[in-house]
């Protein structure tokens, strides 16, 4: 026969510390998405791939005018965007699976395909 204690014991405190530490470090245990080798660009009703392995600058059409997709040392970003707020320029550079650049005014989506590990990363 044993009894269940209702008052906290030292072991409860130890468990509390353990759980608290695990909770605090849990974000670091998440694996980062694999580095992608290309991005998918959706713009002007079409979708095409752009390799990330070679540097380059390409025009991406949009209703407001063309933006420039810059590929540089394995990551992609938008530049010279004609949209008013330039949010898309600040969403890059992207390189890991699941990362995405969206320009709503100019209807452009650039994303790294592959198994995404995190839904979204706020910057």
Partner 1 sequence: MRSPARLTTMAMLVAGAFALASLERVLPNPFPMIRLGLGNIMTLVAFGTLGVSGGVWVTAGRVGLVALLWGGLFSPATVLSAAGGAASLLVMVPLLLTGRFSFYGISMGGAYAHILGQLAVATLLYVRSAGLMALLPFMGAAAIATGILNAWVAGKLLARYPGGSGSRV
* Least distance in angstroms from the C-beta of 31 to partner 1: 7
What is the sign, positive or negative, of the torsion defined by CA atoms of 73, 78, 80, 84?
negative
Taking CB under 8 A as the rule, does residue 35 contact partner 1?
A: no
Q: Tell me the window of 5-13, 42-50, 60-68, 82-90 that interacts with partner 1 (CB under 8 A).
A: 5-13
Q: Which C-beta is closer to partner 1: that of 36 or that of 62?
A: 36
Q: Which C-beta is closer to partner 1: that of 31 or that of 45?
A: 31
Q: Which C-beta is closer to partner 1: that of 7 or that of 46?
A: 7
Query: What is the four-CA torsion angle of 95, 98, 99, 101, rounded to 10 degrees?
Result: 120
Taking CB under 8 A as the rule, does residue 4 contact partner 1?
A: yes
d(CA 89, CA 84): 11
Neighbouring C-alpha atoms within 13 Å toward the C-beta of 10: 0
């Amino acid at each position: 026969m044993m009894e269940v204690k209702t008052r906290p014991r030292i072991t409860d405190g130890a468990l509390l510390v353990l759980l608290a530490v695990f909770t605090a470090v849990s974000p670091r245990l998440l694996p980062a998405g694999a580095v992608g080798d290309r991005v998918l660009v959706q713009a002007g009703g079409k979708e095409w791939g752009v390799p990330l392995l070679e540097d380059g600058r390409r025009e991406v059409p949009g209703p407001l005018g063309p933006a420039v997709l810059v590929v540089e040392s394995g990551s992609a970003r938008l530049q010279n965007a004609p949209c008013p707020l330039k949010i898309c320029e600040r969403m890059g550079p992207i390189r890991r699976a699941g990362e995405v650049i969206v320009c709503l005014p100019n209807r452009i989506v650039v994303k790294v395909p592959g198994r995404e590990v995190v839904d979204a990363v706020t910057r």
